[in-house]
A = this chain, B = another copy of it.
């Protein structure tokens, strides 16, 4: 068999950098969420770009699938080896290669996690701002076009990667971009690989933009009677140019979950959690202006804090929200949905989703990155009740359809993987065919994460 032939050759090349042990295969074929296990035939731990290039040359010659694997935090089954093959685990390529203080940039390997990178940066006064919550690897974040709570201020991964080194399906190594802040020199290959989910090339190095660590942070929290007032308030704040570093929405059900879980006593109504980064006076001024604006939209229980421990206390509800939601239903696992709509349609999207979930037998608190129009329902599925997963998928499907109807996208930040493939035609129409044409140009035998992202693959 072609995969077996490829792996036989890989064994002799990689030695103990390759494993066929069942625990290793299972660990790399498992999903964080509800997708069926799909282990690869082998797991390799490349240590250099030359390793990756050599592996791809061999796999290309034999038509053997290759799946890139970072921290394994994907929520949509991105790394499932649905056609077998070799999973490349980047755990041994996890170094910061250089920090360019004057350029506010760092060159890193794909296996480094976000938290590890920021630990290494601590003494420099700089930080890497994209924060998807999970301690994902940088390579994985790049491959899935990740974002998160800080994107309203610092942008998504798309705005924070300057350059990539990528190994193509046939083993060729290319470099896209540079440490220069911008370029108008031809097709934006960097952007093309960001979000390509390992189907166009394997990222082996990233040049990331860094930000100055804020001198001061002010945090805030406030409650609203209804979702639309909260969203309208956020839109007003954005239009006034008050720079929020984070602006998170937590619905009444999620607040109830947090009160039960953390012993807080927040009013069980929709809440906004906000954070400002700046100078001491600047961040405080921004927070005070925020408080004035949201008051005009009926906000109550507005509280602001500047000291670290007070800020942490204020944000407890948001920080614990995911675990608090899971605890709402003992033994439950979560189907975490992820849609993003134009901000003007966000209140409508959340309210319709809220009503949908209320009419369903399963609980589903809602959290959102309201500045981006992106929100998640944490649908709580009892593994002992098979119909729960069916119901969760039905609700998720209605959320995706609704997002498209309202002019949005079926995924704001979690990506396509296995879970959203069925919506690509509806979202992109003929554009999806164009993605397939690009895939076939760069990976004609479809060895890179096959069966994902593009049509007819």
Contact = CB atoms under 8 A, between A and B. Distances in A.
A176 B431 contact: yes
A125 to B, nearest CB: 7
Given A188-B191, A431-B176, A441-B437, A183 B239 contact: no
A94 to B, nearest CB: 23
A40 interface: no
A453 interface: yes
Interface in A170-212: 172-176, 178-189, 191-192, 194-196, 200, 211-212
B239 A174 contact: no
Nearest to A183: B409
Contact of A182 (B102, B180, B183, B340): B340
A342 interface: yes
Contact of A179 (B144, B155, B195, B407): B407
A420 B194 CA distance: 26
B178 A409 contact: yes
Interface string A358-391: 0000000000000111100000000000000000
A64 interface: no
Interface in A418-436: 420, 423-424, 427-432, 434-435
A75 to B, nearest CB: 11
Best-surrounded residue of A178, A240, A343, A344 (most CB of chain B within 10 A): A178
A174 B412 contact: no
A128 to B, nearest CB: 14
Nearest to A213: B241
Contact of A438 (B173, B420, B441): B441
A212 B188 contact: no
Contact of A184 (B341, B416, B454): B416
Interface string A78-114: 0000000000000000000000111111000000000
A187 B192 contact: yes
A151 B182 contact: yes
Contacts of A338: 184
Interface stretch (A278-286, A300-308, A309-317, A329-337): A278-286
Stoichiometry, as copies per complex, reads 2
Contacts of A255: none
A194 B423 CA distance: 25
Interface in A142-181: 144-147, 151, 155-156, 158-159, 168, 172-176, 178-181
A374 B413 contact: no
A100 B374 CA distance: 18
B147 A182 contact: yes
A394 interface: no
Contacts of A73: none
A416 B104 CA distance: 27
Nearest to A214: B241
A270 interface: no
A246 interface: no
B412 A184 contact: yes
A43 interface: no
A413 B182 contact: yes
A271 interface: no
B186 A408 contact: no
A256 interface: no
Nearest to A415: B184
Given A147-B184, A178-B342, A180-B340, 12 more contacts: A174-B429, A174-B431, A180-B403, A180-B408, A181-B343, A182-B412, A184-B409, A185-B409, A188-B191, A188-B194, A279-B285, A438-B438
The 6 closest A-B pairs by CB, nearest first: A191-B191, A102-B344, A441-B441, A183-B409, A179-B342, A180-B408
8 contacts: A158-B188, A168-B434, A176-B431, A182-B374, A184-B195, A185-B415, A189-B431, A192-B438
Interface of A: 100-105, 125-126, 144-147, 151, 155-156, 158-159, 168, 172-176, 178-189, 191-192, 194-196, 200, 211-212, 214-215, 235, 238-241, 243, 277-279, 281-282, 285, 289, 338, 340-344, 371-374, 403, 407-416, 420, 423-424, 427-432, 434-435, 437-438, 440-442, 453-454
